């Protein structure tokens, strides 16, 4: 395998030129970017349609994503460069791992997986916290062509069980616990319960024992990670097709069942490698930090794959923006590791702002290495933007993307041409994204007119080609409303300069503290309570977390239950079934729910009423009087 990490040269130098070329000559544009990847077999087909009639990139290319992330750097003489810094205030650890160490470790873990019978195309679920072993587990799967599916530690057993049944993993890699500030969350009981609930049973569980909570291993099924790893023989990278899946990452859709977003190897490697340079302006030797969790797409793309593809040092932080130990934690990490480009969700800054409104703790640290502050995961609200701008002497760049895309749809392309930032905007579409704003009839809207944000096909590399095991859902959810255009599920507008303002979801997806959840997921659990006849869960505005869910309940006839008791029971039920990250704390009883004549609950109208935003009651409403009745109930509960 070979390849180099030079910066691509094109004649285009301004953002406008680069963007224009990416749309007029997409194949030439991405073929050029593909040259930055050490292919095993370089692609000759750049853009093609697959058997599902979906556009695919680099179909006849072959590569290995672990090779791109680790081996190539070692082979090019950068083995002693630091690949990963593990910074864990919750365990008082800071550890550095070189590219050679990461490669050797990953090769051994990959060998261990092979010895368990895991081969190309098998699924491995990873249910692990923010420890270096999680990144190693992901890369080890990639090394042997297995498909990983990481499940975020904050999800409850029922959610994990759904993912086990949908992806049918041969092996689950887990850790004995996660640490949430000062709480030790034992994972083994959660995992055992999930395996119990699931119809599919994995053949093995490889358990990383953490001293904070040791797991009791089940003989025959469970293996102790350390012993297993020591006995394993290192293995080489297995070639895979560019279009073979690298991972499945489940995300929330509009129903209670999560969607398995599939990411392929080739397009992902090319797009992420490109984004590191073109968006984040980092390359070999630069320190890059995304303060997210490996359980989310940000963690996949920008804690693990992107920075390693580009030869950077990535920081894996097991802590919080506050309480580990204080609101200066991020400044400490930025200073200590000399981070150049930093990426975090705005909710984290809101949490810091609440505890340290004048950002006094920053004075204790030298963060002069920082050149860019990136935010995503939810809209960067103007007050947080202004707070950051007042305290940081670097560009504050909001960029917008989704699990489905794997990298930014819109950004301020710092590595091409840094443009003016506007509060509330994620700037302009990144190269390859042909973005349009459409009205309900599919007509394109003009400047400052809000509508559905869609992308004209073909989408650039890394975009998902299907939903795992359910291609029909892929077509129905994303491509049926406006044929030829990908429905992002977000609404917004472009201003007179073309700047994009993403204003929020137009469907029933919520964004709670940077975590994507569906109202349907919580509704299913609430509706299961014996007293509840019907319910609607709405994501309402919250100053710190962006949105939080709230339940509106209709009780069964004859049920007599104290409202506070019912709410407490429902809160526990949601914690147990969805997970604590749902932040479900409020449930109120209403007399009726506003619906259309066909029975669809008017969730958007209810949300806008509670958020005190302008709303339009559709003419199809069953009984307009219900709106006034609902408002009275909300006033009684102090919600209006
Ligand atoms: N495992 C187990 N439990 C978890 C968890 C995990 N990985 N993550 C969160 N939880 C728990 C929390 O401990 C909390 O439990 P509690 O109700 O018993 O106190 C609950 O879930 C709610 O968590 P959260 O909403 O995250 O609140 P928080 O106060 O713990 O933290 C923030 C608030 C803003 C610091 C945190 O949400 C955050 O960093 N968000 C950024 C998310 C992100 O990076 N998203 C990716 C997109 S860029
Ligand atoms: P996820 O798939 O978990 O990354 O969540 C994607 C969703 O988060 C998007 O569809 C948006 O609703 C929201 N989102 C992410 N980044 C931004 C951003 N920069 N501005 C506005 N919304 C965002």
**Is pLDDT at 560 greater than 80 in this prediction?**
yes
Name the residue at shortest CA distance from atom 22 of ligand 1. 581
CATH of the domain at 532: 3.30.300.30
Which pLDDT belongs to residue 508?
Answer: 87
- Confidence band (pLDDT; 50, 70, 90) for 78? very high
Centre of ligand 2 to C-alpha 504, Å, is 8
* Mean pLDDT, rounded, for 477-494: 97
Residue 296: what pLDDT? 96
Centre of ligand 2 to C-alpha 505, Å, is 8
Tell me, in angstroms, the distance from the centre of ligand 1 to residue 183's CA: 12
502 lines ligand 2 (CB under 6 A): yes
Query: Does residue 537 sit within a domain?
Result: yes
Is the CB of residue 547 below 6 angstroms from any atom belonging to ligand 1? no
Q: How confident is the model at residue 445 (pLDDT cuts 50, 70, 90)?
A: very high
The residue contributing the CA closest to ligand 2 atom 13 is 378
Give the number of the ligand closest to the Cα of residue 90: 1
Q: Are 212 and 179 in contact (CB under 8 A)?
A: yes
Res 130: pLDDT: 98
How confident is the model over 332-356, as a mean pLDDT?
A: 97
Is residue 576 assigned to a domain? Answer: yes
Domain hosting residue 544, numbered range: 519-636
Q: What is the mean pLDDT of the segment spanning 311-315? A: 98
Q: At what angle do helices 382-391 and 346-355 cross, to 10 degrees?
A: 70
**Cis status, amide bond into 496, omega within 30 of 0:** no
Lowest mean pLDDT among 145-159, 170-184, 613-627: 613-627
Nearest ligand to the CA of 402 is: 2
Count of residues in the chain = 640
Name the residue with higher pLDDT: 640 or 244: 244
**Which pLDDT score, from 0 to 100, does residue 218 have?**
95
Any atom of ligand 2 within 6 Å of the Cβ of 128: no
> Which bound ligand lies closest to the C-alpha atom of 151?
1
Whose CA is closest to 575, among 150, 252, 157, 151? 157
Predicted local confidence at residue 2, as pLDDT:
36
Residue 574 maps to a domain: yes
Q: Is the pLDDT confidence value at 616 over 80? A: yes
Confidence of residue 490 (pLDDT cuts 50, 70, 90): very high
**Is ligand 1 within 6 A of the CB of residue 380?**
no
Return mean pLDDT, the chain. 95
- Does residue 614 sit within a domain? yes
Ligand lying closest to the C-alpha of residue 380: 2
* Mean pLDDT to the nearest integer, 23-40: 98
Q: Which residues of 565-575 are buried (b: 16+ CB within 10 A; e: fewer)?
A: ebbeebbebbb
Asked whether residue 534 is domain-assigned, the answer is yes
Cβ 542 under 6 angstroms from ligand 1: no
- Ligand 2 atom 4: the closest Cα is on which residue? 402
Percentage above 70 pLDDT, the chain: 98
- Based on the structure, what is the number of domains in the chain? 1
> With a 6 A CB cut-off, is 460 part of the ligand 2 pocket?
no
Among the atoms of ligand 2, which is closest to the Cα of residue 504?
Answer: 12
Q: How far is the CA of 515 from the centre of ligand 1 (A)?
A: 8
Ligand 1 center to 514 CA (angstroms): 9
Chain segment 44-63, per-residue pLDDT in tens? 999 999 999 999 999 999 99
Alpha-carbon dihedral 109, 111, 117, 122, rounded to 10 degrees? 60
- Establish whether residue 156 lines the binding site of ligand 1, counting it when its CB lies within 6 angstroms of any ligand atom: no
Residue 153 CB–ligand 1 contact under 6 Å? yes
In a domain, 605, yes or no: yes
Whether residue 599 lies inside any domain: the answer is: yes
**Protein residue with least CA distance to atom 19, ligand 2:** 400
Residue nearest to atom 44 of ligand 1 (CA): 292
Report whether residue 253 contacts ligand 1, using a CB cutoff of 6 Å. Answer: no
pLDDT at 12: 61
Higher pLDDT, 1 or 599: 599
Using a pLDDT cut of 90, give the percent of the chain over it: 94
**Using a 6 Å cutoff on CB, does residue 391 contact ligand 2?**
no
Helix (H, G, I), strand (E, B) or coil at 509: strand
The answer, yes or no, to whether residue 500 has pLDDT greater than 70, is yes
For 396-405, what is the mean pLDDT? 97
CA-to-CA distance for 346 and 351, rounded, in angstroms?
9
SS3 380: coil
Cα 164 from Cα 573, distance rounded (Å): 21
- At 253 the pLDDT is 83
Whether the CB of 583 sits within 6 Å of ligand 1: yes
Return the residue whose CA atom lies nearest to atom 23 of ligand 1.
Answer: 581
The protein residue whose alpha carbon is closest to atom 3 in ligand 2 is: 516
- Which among 283, 279, 129, 100 has a CA at the least distance from the CA of 191? 129
Contact by Cβ (8 Å): 179, 91: yes
Cis upstream peptide for 298 (omega within 30°): no
How many angstroms separate the alpha carbon of residue 87 from the centre of ligand 1?
A: 18
Instruction: Reply yes or no on whether the pLDDT at 484 is more than 90.
Output: yes
- What is the CA(489)–ligand 2 centre distance, in A? 10
Position 627 in a domain: yes
Nearest CA to ligand 2 atom 11: 378
CA distance 187 to 69: 29
- pLDDT for 4 equals 38
Mean pLDDT value across residues 191-212:
98
Q: Which atom of ligand 1 is nearest to the CA of 180?
A: 13
């Amino acid at each position: 395998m070979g390849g180099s990490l030079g910066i691509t040269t094109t004649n285009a130098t301004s953002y406008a030129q680069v963007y224009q070329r990416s749309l007029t000559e997409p194949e030439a544009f991405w073929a050029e970017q593909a040259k930055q990847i050490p292919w095993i077999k370089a692609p000759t087909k750049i853009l093609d349609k697959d058997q599902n009639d979906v556009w695919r990139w680099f179909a006849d290319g072959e590569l290995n994503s672990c090779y791109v992330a680790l081996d190539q750097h070692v082979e090019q003489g950068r083995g002693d460069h630091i690949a990963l810094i593990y910074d864990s205030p919750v365990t008082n650890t800071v550890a550095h791992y070189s590219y050679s160490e990461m490669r050797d470790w990953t090769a051994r873990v990959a060998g261990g997986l092979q010895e368990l019978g895991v081969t190309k195309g098998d699924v491995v679920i990873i249910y692990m916290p923010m420890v270096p072993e999680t990144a190693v587990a992901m890369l080890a799967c990639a090394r042997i062509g297995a498909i990983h599916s990481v499940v975020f530690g904050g999800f409850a057993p029922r959610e994990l069980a759904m993912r086990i049944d949908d992806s049918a993993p041969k092996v689950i890699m887990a850790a004995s616990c996660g640490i949430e500030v000062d709480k030790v969350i034992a994972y083994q009981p959660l995992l055992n319960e999930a395996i119990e609930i699931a119809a599919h049973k994995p053949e093995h569980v490889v358990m990383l024992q953490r001293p904070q909570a040791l797991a009791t291993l089940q003989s025959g099924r469970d293996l102790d990670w350390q012993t297993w790893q020591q006995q394993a023989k290192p293995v080489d990278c297995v070639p895979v097709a560019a279009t073979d899946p690298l991972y499945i990452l489940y995300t929330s859709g509009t129903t209670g069942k999560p969607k398995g977003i599939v990411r392929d190897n080739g397009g992902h490697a090319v797009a992420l490698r490109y984004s590191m340079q073109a968006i984040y302006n980092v390359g070999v030797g630069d320190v890059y930090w995304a303060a997210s969790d490996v359980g989310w797409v940000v963690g996949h793309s920008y804690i693990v794959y992107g920075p390693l593809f580009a030869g950077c040092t990535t920081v894996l932080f097991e802590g919080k923006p506050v309480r580990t130990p204080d609101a200066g934690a991020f400044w400490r990490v930025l200073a200590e590791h000399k981070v150049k480009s930093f990426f975090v969700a705005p909710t984290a800054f809101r949490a810091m702002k609440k505890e340290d409104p004048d950002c006094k703790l920053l004075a204790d640290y030298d963060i002069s290495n920082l050149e860019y502050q990136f935010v995503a995961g939810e809209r960067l609200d103007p007050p947080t933007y202004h707070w950051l701008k007042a305290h940081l002497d670097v560009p504050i760049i909001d960029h917008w993307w989704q699990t489905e895309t794997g990298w930014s749809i819109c950004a301020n392309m710092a590595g091409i041409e840094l443009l003016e930032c506007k509060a509330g905007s994620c700037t302009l579409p990144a190269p390859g994204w042909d973005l349009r704003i459409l009205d309900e009839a599919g007509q394109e809207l003009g400047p400052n007119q809000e509508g559905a944000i869609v992308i004209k096909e073909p989408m650039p590399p890394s975009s998902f080609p299907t939903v795992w095991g359910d291609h029909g859902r892929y077509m129905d959810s994303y491509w049926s409303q406006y044929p030829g255009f990908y429905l992002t599920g977000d609404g917004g507008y472009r201003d007179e300069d073309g700047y994009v303002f993403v204003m929020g979801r137009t469907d029933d997806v919520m964004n709670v503290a940077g975590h994507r959840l569906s109202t349907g997921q919580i509704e299913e659990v609430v509706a299961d309570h014996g007293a509840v006849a019907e319910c609607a869960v709405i994501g309402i505005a919250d100053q710190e977390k962006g949105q939080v869910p709230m339940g509106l309940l209709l009780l069964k006839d004859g049920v007599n239950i104290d409202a506070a008791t019912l709410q407490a029971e429902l809160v526990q039920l949601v914690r147990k079934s969805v997970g604590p990250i749902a932040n479900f704390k409020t449930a109120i009883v209403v007399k009726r729910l506003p619906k259309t004549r066909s029975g669809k609950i008017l969730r958007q109208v209810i949300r806008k009423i509670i958020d005190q935003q302008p709303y339009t009651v559709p003419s199809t409403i069953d009984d307009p009087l219900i709106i006034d009745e609902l408002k009275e109930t909300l006033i009684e509960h102090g919600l209006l």
